[in-house]
Structure 1
Amino acid sequence: MAKMIVMYDQPKDKEGFDKYYHEVHIPLAEKVPNLKNAVVHNVLQTMNSEQQLYLIAELEFETPEILTKSLASPEFQAVQGDLRNIMQYLNKPPVVALVD
């Protein structure tokens, strides 16, 4: 199994972020090929860090190779391109980690 984990800090516009994220960004992400599962977590508290996380998304793929292939797809490029739109609600870009 392989995952892409996306961690968002507290947005500057929570209401706008939540609406855009759930109505536009998630539907784009759901189109990424080979996506096995997607889970979004609202962060209740961040400990041992100055970073104040707001939301964590986990995108699960069968293998690291399939994840890599999916990241090269036009559908994922649309998700990545949407970052410029979602940035209007954020203070800084999300942190992304690829894990196995």
Structure 2
Amino acid sequence: MAKLVVIYDQPKDQEGFENYYFNVHIPLAEKLPNITGAEVHRVLQKQNTSDNQYLLAELHFENSAILAQSLATPEGREVTADVANMMQFLNKPPVVLIVD
């Protein structure tokens, strides 16, 4: 399995971020082809960092090749481009990791 992991720091506009993220961005991500699962977690506690992580999202795919193919589709490009729309609510871009 491969995962796309996205880590968001505390937003500058929490209410705006939550509204946009859950009502616009997540529905776009749900349209990604070949996604096998997804999870969103709120960060409750952290250690060994001065960063202020707020939310962590995981998108699951069968393998890294399928993940890459999915992101190359029109739906993948749309959800990736949508991150720019969320920047009005964030202090900095989210960290994006691809893991297996």
Which TM bucket (shorter chain)?
over 0.9
SS at match of 2:51: coil
Separation in 1 of the partners of 2:84 and 2:71?
A: 17
Deviant stretches of 4+, over 4 Å: none
SS at match of 2:32: coil
Counterpart residue number, 1:66? 66
Separation in 2 of the partners of 1:72 and 1:15?
A: 31
1:40-88 per-residue CA deviation (whole Å, 9 max, x = no partner) reads 0011112110111000000000011101111111101001111111000
Alignment-mate amino acid for residue 81 of structure 1? A
SS at match of 1:58: strand
Counterpart residue number, 2:80? 80
Counterpart residue number, 1:45? 45
Counterpart residue number, 1:90? 90
Long gaps (5+) in structure 1: none
Separation in 2 of the partners of 1:24 and 1:66?
A: 24
Alignment: residue pair count: 100
- Tell me the TM-score normalised to structure 1 length: 0.98
Q: Does 1:36 align with 2:36?
A: yes
Separation in 2 of the partners of 1:53 and 1:83?
A: 17
The percentage of aligned residue pairs carrying the same residue is 60
1:3-50 per-residue CA deviation (whole Å, 9 max, x = no partner) reads 000000000000100010000000000000000001000111121101
> CA-atom RMSD, angstroms?
0.6
SS at match of 1:57: strand
